[in-house]
Structure 1
Amino acid sequence: MEAGGGGGGSTLSEIYQNAKKLMLRTRDAMERLERLEYSSGSVGMDSPELSSSITRDITHIQSLCVEMDRLCRSLPSKSHRDLWKRKVEQVGEESESLKQSLDKYSLRNQKRMMEAKERAELLGRANGESHVLRIFDDEAQARQSYRNSARMLEEASSTGEAILSAMSGSRERLKKAHRKALDVLNTVGLSNSVLKLIERRHRVDNWIKYAGMILTLVIVFIIWRWT
């Protein structure tokens, strides 16, 4: 006996067959979605289009169950009503099982997205902290380089002062020797030409002395510029 409904609509058998076809398609889609979830290891992949299609099919199956339940209540034979009621309940249970599987998948996917977001935030903070540490290291190196340069400049300055002091002492000794030499020459009555020659030699010695002082200052300046 063919189960039918009022109003010239689809029969109970036709609705049931449509529901079974949708059930097979939805189950296959759910299996593909779960395979896709683990296809790339722990990271997983997502297919919003496939998830939406499964949701629509489950909703459609549940609406067909409601329609089949309405139709089977209008069957005149109790045995037919009981038979169709079991079939409708089975379809409803299968659709509910698929809905639970989809809900679990959605929860897992949401958890993966949250974990990925947290990892990205942690990585961003780690990169930021690393950048700050690099800045501190650069500043510390700059301060150390400045201290080294200051120390080298002080050493060069001390060396220059020591050289100038030694040259100053030498100048005093030369003056004394020059005066003694003049006294001796005057005593023995050397000619003016000899005296002029000695004075000229003294001026040359002074030029050499001042040139040495200038050269020392230039060396100190070069050391300071390159440190």
Structure 2
Amino acid sequence: MAMSVEIGGGTLSEIYQSAKKLLLRTRDGLEKLERLENAGGIDSPDLSTSVKRDISQIQSFCADMDRLWRSVGAKSQRDLWKRKVEQIAEEAQSLKESLDKYNLRNQKRAQEARERAELLGRANGEGAHVLRIFDDEAQARASVRSSSRMLEEASATGESILRKYAEQRDWLKSAQRKGLDVLNTVGLSNSVLKLIERRNRVDQSIKYAGMILTVVIVVYLIWRWR
């Protein structure tokens, strides 16, 4: 009978049944690996190795059955066993591809874990140095902004002072003209007029000295707070 065809001590039917049992066990093992992966990326090297070994055994069974079904006498039986063996081989190939994808994902997770560990290991070295650079740059930017605000405030203060001096200068000129008109009216001597002019020059000197002193103070304050 066709079913009694043997190879290596097993008939075609016996090998087929053994292959079916291994398919079920392999499928269960692969599903367990995927459940562990979904539960948190847990790896089970022993189970993975067992699944891989079972797939190899199934493929070996398929090679044996592929030779056996060709020895079956009846054509209808040969065609039936051909389809059965091809189905087992396709399922074994599908399980192998699933296992390969699982192994690739597992390798990727392991690589990412190593990279994270390396980054954490450098946290107190290069990473800390980079953070210090960022801190220094942030402090420098803050200092520049502070200095810019101080400069703007100092500039505004200087402009206000200069406007006041300009107003005082106009007022002094007006007062001087009025004083000269009064003096001319009462007929004061030239010596008195010269005295007034000298006093005016002194006032002018005091005014410019005050302006210079103000500018010096502003520049000093800007330099002091940078």
Q: Give the shorter-chain TM-score range.
A: 0.5 to 0.7
Question: How far 1:121 moved relative to its partner?
Answer: 1.2
Partner of 1:21: 21
Indicate the residue corresponding to 1:187 in structure 2: none
Q: 1:95 to 1:6 in 2, by over 3 A?
A: closer
Residue by residue over 1:22-56, the C-alpha shift from the partner in whole angstroms, topping out at 9 and shown as x without a partner, is 0000000000000001112xxx1110000000000
Question: Partners of 2:18 and 2:9 in 1: how far apart?
Answer: 14
Per the TM alignment, residue 124 of structure 1 is displaced from its structure 2 partner at its CA by 1.6
- Give the aligned partner of residue 66 of structure 2: 69
How far apart are the structure 2 equivalents of 1:45 and 1:61? 26
Could you give the per-residue CA deviations for residues 110-161 of structure 1, whole angstroms, max 9, x where no partner exists? 111111111111122222135555xxx9xxxxxxxxxxxxxxxxxxxxxxxx
Structure 2 distance, partners of 1:73, 1:82, is 9
The structure whose Rg is larger is 1
**C-alpha RMSD of the superposition:** 2.2
Counterparts of 1:23-172 in structure 2 under 5 Å? 23-40=23-40, 44-129=41-126, 132=129, 133=132
- Count of aligned residue pairs for this structure pair: 133
TM-score (normalizing by structure 1) = 0.55
Answer whether contact 2:6 2:12 (CA < 8 A) is retained. no
Inter-partner Cα distance in structure 1 for 2:43 and 2:123:
28
Does the Cα contact within 8 Å between 1:5 and 1:11 map onto a contact in 2? yes
Percent identical pairs in the alignment equals: 67
Residue ranges of structure 1 left out of the alignment (5+ in a row)? 138-227
> Could you tell me which amino acid in structure 1 is paired with residue 28 of structure 2?
D
Q: Normalised by the size of structure 2, how large is the TM-score?
A: 0.55
Long gaps (5+) in structure 2 = 137-226
Superimposed CA distance per residue, residues 63-85 of structure 1 (whole angstroms, 9 cap, x where no aligned partner): 00000111001111111110000
Letter in 1 for 2:26: T
Question: Taking structure 1 as reference, are residues 58 and 47 closer, same or farther at Cα in structure 2, changes over 3 Å only?
Answer: same
